[in-house]
Structures are given as C-alpha cells and as structure tokens.
Amino acid sequence: MAIIWTSKTIAMLPVFTLYLSFSSTLISAVSFKKLPLPAPGPESYAFDLAGHGPRPYTSIADGRIVKYKGPKSGFVDYGYTAPNRSKEFCDGTNNTYLASICGRPLGLGFYLPRKELYIADASYGLVVVGPNGGAATQLATGAEGVPFRLPDGLEVDQLTGIVYFTDASAVYNLSQMNQLFSKGDATGRLLRYDPKTKQVTVLLNGLSAPSGVAVSKDSSYLLVVEAVRSRIQKYWLKGSKANTAEVLLNLTGSPDKIKRTARGDFWVAVTVQTPTLELKGVRITEGGTILETVTFSPKYDTSFITEVNEYKGALYLGSLYPNYVGVYRA
C-alpha cells in the first residue's frame, strides 16, 4: 500500500496511527514461543540477577538444571542433584523410575544475593547448587524423623535467606503420583529450612499434595497450594495470626506451583481435565481475589501445566512432559 503524503493525510495521521496500532494489537496480541530443551519436563523456573536478557534456568526430567544462553546456544548444563549422576546414562531420559539414580529436580529458587540455587529434588531432598553451578550439596532428606518422599515446591525468601519448601507426600513418591491422587493422600508437609542453623522445621502437616509455595514480598505470609484438595492456604509468618493457616481460595481443577510476580501478586498453574483439557494461569491477590485467567491450551500442547512464572513481561510455562520451554507474551 502506498501513501501519498498530502497535507490532508498528514492531518489524518494521528487517527491513522491509532488505527494501525490498534489493529496490530488485535493481530499479534499474543505470542507463543518454544525454546527447545535437551530433555523433557521443565517443571519449574528460576532467574538470576545477571544484567542480560531473560535467561531462565529450569529443572528437567533427566536430573539436570539447565540454563538458557540465548537463541544460538540454547539450553546448556548448569547443575545436577544426584551426586554420582552419569551423563552417558542419564542425559535425555524422561523415565521417572530413574529419578533415584539420575535425580529429579522439581522446585527451584535462587537466593539472589549469593546466587545459590536451592532445589527440591524428588529423590535427593533439599539440595543447593553453588554460584558456579555443578554438583549439588545435600542439605536435608527428612524432617522430625519422617523422610521426604516427594519434595516438590520451593521458594527462597530474598529478605531473610530462609528456604520454604514442600514434601508432597510422606507415603507416595514420584513413580506413585497416580496413587497419591487416587487415594486423596493428605500426608504432605510445608517445611522451612534455615541456612543459619541448618535445621528443617515443619510448619504444616496433613496437607493434600502440597505442590507449590510462594512467600509474600514483605515476608509476612506464605501461600501454599494443595493439588489434591484443589485449594490455596495462607500461612502467616508474622503478626497476630503468625504460625496459623487459613484457606484462601478453592479452585476448580488441579493447581500445581504458585509463583509471586515482581508486583507482589501470584500466578497459579491450573490443569482442568474435564470436560475439555484446559491449561491455565490464574493470577490472584494476597486476599485470594482472581485478577486474571489466561488459557494456554491448545497452543501449549501438553497434558499438564506445573508452573506459570512471570519474568520481564513474559510467562514461562512449566510442565512434566514437553521437550521445550513455553514462553507466552500478551
């Protein structure tokens, strides 16, 4: 299309520009990108403070934590959780039965001031990878005499360095997830690790598949997701209600991880299986009000969503199955 510049078209320009930008919003309102991974199952994401473009770290099914190095290099090795993990044997596997040999990192979170990457690993418990990556150091394999069976969600409080994490069940492990759901297990725990004392404390017992945890911006409360009961509880860390919990929100479907945004609100990843499969992100306030619901399926063509992690205007989508990182921009 050619535009002949007359004084009349110039006078019309503001209207024309407005129309153009409006129509381009309609056309490309949403973009969905796939960043290929060396193995499937990017369950969770973390971001460091380095001053380059968004470069997610993610925990994948073959036991590695990989880091995005940009479009040319893609994802490269950053760390691993199984102390004697063999690359030859483990790289590329998606077999959950190998988790006890290869490791299966699920929840991820940096303590940014020290660039320490804390990880909830399904087989190796609470571990930490130092600022240069590589092998993880094991920090805890149980609490109050009960061994972890399925460490899952994790968040580090940036103000205190305290690590909050969940053990989804005291009975069922990663290879027994179907039973965990069908039996309606309620033996999960919300836990706290203090790096100063190296002690793990149980904050809540009897949770029904606690899959994710997030800490508020001001460290005054936690939000913990119960995947089987399909709800979110608020656990107070400070104030008159400290050390008590209340149900904040009941959801429809299976919620998994919960992640706080830079603004202070939270994204919950929710899978609805019937009547049609829907993979969603639900954004909520600290009071449990739903601000926004975004449906990623069918473009995000997998069967389960585990995390919605907002970073610099994009949503990074987690799941147990695809061999790519889904990046959604509105």
Q: Residue 277: which residues within 8 A CB-CB, separation 6 or more? A: 271, 297, 303
Question: Which tokens belong to 208?
Answer: 């029904």
Amino acid, single-letter form, for residue 117: L
Residue pointed to by tokens 């990192």: 105
Q: Least distance (Å) from ligand NAG to the CB of residue 97?
A: 6
Residue 7 phi/psi, 5° resolution? -65, -30
Q: Least distance (Å) from ligand NAG to the CB of residue 265?
A: 17
Residue 174 phi/psi, 5° resolution? -60, -35
Give the binding range for ligand NAG (CB under 6 A) out of 52-60, 69-77, 105-113, 174-182. Answer: 174-182
Q: Least distance (Å) from ligand NAG to the CB of residue 41?
A: 7
CB 65 within 8 A of CB 59: yes
Among 44, 173, 233, 306, binds ligand NAG (CB under 6 A): 173
Q: Least distance (Å) from ligand NAG to the CB of residue 99?
A: 4
CB 41 within 8 A of CB 321: yes
CB 81 within 8 A of CB 105: yes
What string marks each residue from 26 to 65 as x (binds ligand NAG by CB under 6 A) or -? --------------x-------------------------
Cβ proximity to ligand NAG: between 17 and 250 the closer is 250
Q: Residue 84: which residues within 8 A CB-CB, separation 6 or more? A: none
Q: Least distance (Å) from ligand NAG to the CB of residue 174?
A: 4
Among 94, 158, 220, 261, binds ligand NAG (CB under 6 A): 94
Give the binding range for ligand NAG (CB under 6 A) out of 71-79, 169-177, 193-201, 261-269. Answer: 169-177
How far is 77 from 75, CA to CA, in rounded Å?
Answer: 7
Question: Which tokens belong to 298?
Answer: 């069918």
Q: Least distance (Å) from ligand NAG to the CB of residue 47?
A: 25
Q: Residue 25: which residues within 8 A CB-CB, separation 6 or more? A: none
Q: Least distance (Å) from ligand NAG to the CB of residue 142?
A: 14
Give the binding range for ligand NAG (CB under 6 A) out of 93-101, 253-261, 279-287, 291-299. Answer: 93-101
Torsion angle (degrees, nearest 10) of CA 154, 123, 149, 216: 0
Give the binding range for ligand NAG (CB under 6 A) out of 72-80, 172-180, 261-269, 311-319. Answer: 172-180
- Regarding 86 and contact with ligand NAG (CB under 6 A), the answer is yes
User: Judged by CB under 6 A, how many residues of this single chain contact ligand NAG?
Assistant: 19
Q: Pick from 269, 263, 290: which is nearest to 281 by CA? A: 269
Q: Which of residues 112-131 bind ligand NAG (CB under 6 A)?
A: 123
- Regarding 175 and contact with ligand NAG (CB under 6 A), the answer is yes
HSE-up of residue 13 (Cα within 13 Å, Cβ side): 7
CA angle 259, 60, 168 (to 5 degrees): 55
- DSSP code string of 295-327: E-TTTS-SS---EEEEETTEEEEE-SS-SEEEE
Among 23, 137, 205, 250, binds ligand NAG (CB under 6 A): 250
Q: Least distance (Å) from ligand NAG to the CB of residue 140?
A: 17
Residue 329's beta-bridge partner residues? 31
- Regarding 230 and contact with ligand NAG (CB under 6 A), the answer is no
Residues forming the site for ligand NAG (CB under 6 A): 40, 84, 86, 89, 94, 96-97, 99-101, 123, 173-176, 247, 249-250, 321
